[in-house]
Chain A
């Protein structure tokens, strides 16, 4: 059974700093991994999708990496802004299965 863990559960950093969010998964036979953002009381917004054959994806100030062999992914946020405050969730999909397995998220607060 795939298990996804995100540590820390919460993180506060001053505005302007670079930061890294971590995601680990137990089954390395993944099809893809996605990072999502969720604002309080809202749905999820997809940030980055990494296919199993890829090592990283970039979008603006965001960079996600994938290391299947170690069962880890990181989301790097450069030059953080107060608007980046949200909960960040990673989710993995394994081959032959349509469902995503989510972590419990990291609640990020950027301090102005």
Chain B
């Protein structure tokens, strides 16, 4: 297990379509995070899981966004009815408790 994997790396979609991103964390990491980063900005926190439990959600995560981590392993982030403002890099990170976050390479979303 070499790191945090994210798929797809780049997704281009039309406004109104649904998209789903997948994150596979480092296997022994029980904590998983999703962040969103727009051009020229730092990442912004979206949500956080400890094992399969979603413990915190940002107000940035509107009703169109949903994240799951069904078995405490991989996680998915779904965006329904995409809008142009959703265009961003979606970053996943994982960590053991109280440790350094390891980020994946990100999934870039472009909404046309």
Contacts and interface: CB of A to CB of B under 8 A. Distances in A.
Interface of A: 4, 34, 36, 41-46, 49, 89, 91, 97-105
Contacts of B45: 99-101
17 contacts: A42-B105, A43-B104, A45-B103, A46-B100, A46-B101, A46-B103, A89-B42, A91-B43, A98-B48, A99-B45, A99-B48, A100-B45, A101-B45, A102-B42, A104-B41, A104-B42, A105-B42
A42 B42 CA distance: 13
B85 interface: no
Interface string B13-34: 0000000000000000001010
A99 B31 CA distance: 11
B58 A102 contact: no
B108 interface: yes
B100 A49 contact: yes
Given A98-B56, A99-B58, A104 B40 contact: yes
B85 to A, nearest CB: 18
Contacts of A102: 42-44
Given A34-B100, A43-B105, A4 B91 contact: no
Q: What range describes how many residues of B lie at the interface?
A: 20 to 34
Contacts of B4: 43
Nearest to A36: B103
Contacts of A46: 100-103
Contacts of B48: 98-99
Nearest to A4: B42
Contacts of A101: 45
A46 to B, nearest CB: 5
Nearest to A89: B42
Interface centre among A4, A89, A99, A103 (most CB of B within 10 A): A99
Interface centre among B31, B40, B101, B108 (most CB of A within 10 A): B101
Nearest to A31: B98
Contact of A44 (B40, B55, B91): B91
